[in-house]
Chain A
Amino acid sequence: MSTTTDVTQRITLLRDWLAHRLAAEQLAWIDEQCTRIATSPAGSALPVAIGLASRRTGKQPLMLSDEERAAAEAARPGLDTSAWSVEQVARILFVLASYAGAEDSFAARLGARVRSGEIGEQVALYHGLPLYPQAVSVLATAAEGIRSAVQPIYEAVAHRSPYPSEQFSEAMWNQMVVKALFIGSTLAPIQKLDERRNADLARMLVDYAHERWAAGRTVSAELWRCVGPFGDRYMDDLLRVFESPSNVERQSAALALSECPDPDALVVLESDPALWRNIRNGRLDWHTLKQA
């Protein structure tokens, strides 16, 4: 549970990032909006400031320095701003500036802002999920984001964020992972993907692979990453992928087999000594696997 103190610290953090990147008059505009928003959190100042932010600050990538990144990590473990831009920081800052203490209907206000936002605004507000007070209270809004068919919006929630792994139930988590494959997104940027693997997710993904194969289609090689630890139930499928003519698919099956509890997995891996050696010495892992 975040307190008002946390919010104040986070406001300072974000404002410092802007201070190093904006001209004096731009920063003055930001401060003026924050004051107006804090004075009347439910008024029109917040929506208008969020709307105008991009034309006031520009949309350049944030690109934190090493020192700034270290400070961010200290303030909020897991925070990853590598896909953020400057106007997004301003928009998140405005939302935080509207927080008026524990009794405040902050979550309802955030939900309303997201629902009325154009795509750029929604991406910004979803990037802010790890920074909002009372993280549990904004869960319904986060859930809306991973239901979105608009890829940038989905990814603003699911990718490079500690929020989903901290807050999502297993059912929500599983929907999020499967949804990524359905909208042509990727799994690698999902934080704690390995830690949150579970039997039900493995089953859903294997069912999905069967569905695709039956229709003569391919599946993303990343899928097998979530199947490996439960691979003893799906040895036939892993073998099929291992024997695929595609190098990426073969490598993905080998990586899954390397985590598979079935004793036969080792036998399969030893049939390709060079590949098995690359996995053992860390030269091949899910991050170095070339995505087709």
Chain B
Amino acid sequence: MPYIDPHTHMISRTTDDYEAMAAAGIVAVIEPAFWIGQARTNVGSYRDYLSHILGFERFRASQFGIQHYCCIGLNSKEANNEALAEDVMQILPEFASKEGVVAIGEIGFDEQTALEEKYFRLQLDLAREMDLPVMIHTPHRDKKRGASRSMDIIMEHRLAPQRVVIDHVNEETVREVKERGFWAAFSIYPHSKMTAPRMCEIVRQYGAGQLIVDSACDWGISDPLSVPKTAMLLAEQSISDNDVHRVTYANALTAYGQSGQMREADWATAAIDQRARYDGNTVLRGGQDPRVEADN
């Protein structure tokens, strides 16, 4: 069964991860712009980061037969550096209009400060102008209130909830997200956020219609195989094949496909071609035979 992992920070992952993800059936990943583990000090490094996830990272993914898409945005942590945030807002329209950008994201709240709210609102307007879906990061601390506030603000800015994915949802927030008509995405982490057994319960209780599973794998302890592992567990727990397919593939495609930048044909016809090699920071070290599949 093919899978989509609609929330990955591949810039922090190894080629071993890419190989394992491809072997497990992941055909496409989405890389939302986010914090990189420490604060950036100027717009130049932000610009380089955005062009890196749109450029070299996408090429790296393609070496393993994985289609790579991006979300473009100013994350909530760095929204608190007003000078940086002002500069980043100036460059976002340029990056948001590029090929392969499927949403504005991940944006929302971290500490729920006034500055976070200001730049969250500005980016919701940008999403409407650019006609792009939105990926919302809900805060780890004070999550329930932060999620509610995020949804209130989105409705204030007149975005259609079916074009917005609320991410890092849990048992406490799922009901409101679903009832208000948003997509509810669950980040399955080994030690935090959400676990696969709890995910089974949520699918049983709420149905598969609006739910999306992702790994949110990044530079921390996280599992890039969360989506296929969760799919297996759901199947073992007698969740129907169709529902498993919806939460680990079809719903993400429907939500982010609204950008017009992500289509099943992008990977259904793509052949793996590792002949496009690297050197220096090489992907295929000398002596390894490239894996090449005939384009059918």
Contact = CB atoms under 8 A, between A and B. Distances in A.
B148 to A, nearest CB: 35
Interface stretch (B162-170, B211-219, B270-278): B270-278
A55 B276 contact: no
B283 to A, nearest CB: 9
Nearest to A120: B99
Given A44-B94, A149-B281, A184-B276, A122 B55 contact: yes
* Most central of A118, A119, A184, A217 by chain B CB within 10 Å: A118
Interface in B253-296: 260, 275-282, 286-287, 290
Contacts of B48: 115
B286 A118 contact: no
Nearest to B261: A55
Nearest to A118: B54
A116 B99 contact: no
Contacts of B286: 215, 217
* Contact residues on A (Cβ < 8 Å of other chain), bracket: 20 to 34
Contacts of A149: 56, 278-282
Contacts of B290: 184
Given A54-B99, A217-B286, A116 B51 contact: yes
B55 A150 contact: yes
B287 A150 contact: no
A47 interface: yes
Contact of A182 (B54, B58, B260, B279): B279
B256 to A, nearest CB: 16
B161 interface: no
Interface residues of B, number: 29
Contacts of B59: 119, 150
Given A149-B278, A149-B279, A217-B286, A51 B98 contact: yes
* Most central of B48, B54, B260, B281 by chain A CB within 10 Å: B54
B189 interface: no
A152 interface: yes
B97 A183 contact: no
B100 interface: yes
Contacts, number: 71
Interface string B37-77: 00000000001101100111011000000000000000000
B277 A116 contact: no
Nearest to A181: B279
A81 B62 CA distance: 25
Interface string B65-107: 0000000000000000000000000010111011110000000
B98 A184 contact: no
B99 A44 contact: no
Contacts of B58: 118-119
Contacts of A150: 55-56, 59, 276
B286 to A, nearest CB: 7
* Most central of A48, A116, A121 by chain B CB within 10 Å: A116
Contact of B287 (A51, A179, A217): A217
A116 B55 CA distance: 9
A89 to B, nearest CB: 16
A116 B44 CA distance: 11
Contact of B94 (A47, A152, A183): A47
A121 B55 CA distance: 10
A215 B287 CA distance: 9
B277 A151 contact: yes
B51 A115 contact: yes
Given A51-B94, A54-B99, 15 more contacts: A47-B94, A48-B97, A51-B98, A116-B91, A117-B51, A117-B55, A119-B59, A120-B99, A121-B98, A150-B55, A150-B59, A150-B276, A152-B276, A179-B279, A217-B286
13 contacts: A44-B94, A48-B93, A51-B97, A115-B48, A116-B47, A116-B51, A116-B94, A117-B55, A118-B58, A118-B99, A149-B280, A151-B277, A217-B287
